[in-house]
């Protein structure tokens, strides 16, 4: 039985403060017995301050793939598998990126492929979806807007992912603000995509998100762990904290696929590319 934790928390530009918060969340997850912790997109350095008019001079601090800060997160992770988001520097290019680590080092990486309009001015897009082996099973990562596209999670499932980690900095609706969070369009979509991506691929999904505000944006929270039938096993709602669920990943996936096996019953020869 694997205990999976998905975090809702706020992170900003102060990297040392961010690292202290990461250390606290890892300690809390360890106390819960978690073997996997999924932290939000832009955990190290915070997200963009304004998606409508991103200021190139006010971007999150860019870290190299082997930045000492990432190594410090790996040291804090120790025996735990931890997924964490950051702004990655590659020469003159910047990527909205995620890395999965344990105390032994880096297990996998992902660069956000699908960029919403505001991010195009700040980041270059990634170009692939790859699953990778970890001590808790085969894992794949998505970064917020990636999960809007069914092909993203499906690509990871086809690569053998049993667990999909979705790291987000997902705000409430910018163009159509609602008086209450429960009425917000982006709030509904965030939950819908999490459940649909898990159910259509019959995998376990751990969805993290930022909370609080950055510039003109207010983040949703709503971290959750979703089973392969699309059922929410644990969630934080809009508050900061950890959503923790105990899952027998192989058994749950086997149960979901005992009659209908979505991956094996595909008809790719009939689909438009």
Residue listed under structure tokens 């008086």: 179
The C-alpha atoms of residue 170 and residue 191 are separated, in whole angstroms, by: 11
Nearest alpha carbon to residue 165 among 190, 198, 187, 200? 198
Q: What is the pLDDT of residues 191-219, one digit of tens each?
A: 999 999 999 999 999 999 999 998 888 99
Q: For residues 199 and 230, is the Cβ–Cβ distance under 8 A? A: yes
Q: What is the pLDDT of residues 40-52, one digit of tens each?
A: 999 999 998 876 6
Instruction: Report domain extents, the chain.
Output: 2-262
Q: For residues 169 and 209, is the Cβ–Cβ distance under 8 A? A: yes
Nearest alpha carbon to residue 197 among 158, 164, 221? 164
Structure confidence at residue 217 (pLDDT): 87
Rounded to two decimals, what is the model's pTM?
0.96
**Distance (Å) of CA 230 to CA 116, 152, 194, 216:** 25, 17, 8, 32
What is the number of H-type helices and E-type strands within the chain? 6, 16
Structure confidence at residue 212 (pLDDT): 94
Specify the CATH number of the domain 2-262: 3.60.110.10
Least confident span in 98-107, 137-146, 154-163, 214-223 = 214-223
């Amino acid at each position: 039985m694997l205990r999976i934790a998905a975090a809702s928390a706020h992170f900003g530009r102060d990297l040392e403060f961010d690292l202290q918060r990461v250390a606290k969340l890892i300690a809390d997850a360890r106390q819960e017995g978690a073997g996997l912790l999924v932290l939000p997109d832009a955990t190290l350095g915070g997200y963009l301050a304004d998606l409508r008019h991103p200021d190139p001079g006010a971007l999150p601090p860019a870290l190299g793939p082997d930045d000492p800060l990432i190594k410090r997160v790996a040291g804090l992770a120790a025996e735990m598998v931890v997924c964490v988001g950051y702004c990655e520097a590659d020469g003159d290019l910047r990527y909205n990126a995620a890395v999965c680590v344990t105390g032994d080092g880096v297990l996998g990486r992902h660069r956000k492929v699908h960029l919403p309009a505001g991010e195009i001015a700040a980041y270059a897009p990634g170009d692939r979806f790859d699953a990778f082996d970890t001590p808790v099973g085969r894992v794949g990562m998505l970064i917020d807007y990636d999960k809007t596209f069914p092909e993203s999670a499906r690509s990871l499932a086809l690569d053998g992912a049993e667990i999909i980690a979705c790291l987000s900095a997902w705000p409430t609706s910018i163009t159509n603000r609602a008086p209450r969070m429960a009425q917000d369009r982006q709030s509904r979509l965030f939950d819908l995509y999490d459940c649909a991506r898990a159910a259509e691929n019959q995998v376990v999904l751990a969805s993290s998100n930022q909370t609080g505000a950055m510039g003109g944006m207010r983040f949703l929270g709503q971290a959750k762990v979703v089973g392969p039938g699309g059922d929410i096993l644990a969630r934080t709602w809009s508050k900061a904290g950890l959503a923790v669920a105990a899952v027998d990943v192989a058994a749950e996936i086997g149960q979901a696929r005992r009659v209908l096996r979505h991956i094996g019953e595909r008809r790719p020869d009939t689909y438009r590319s």
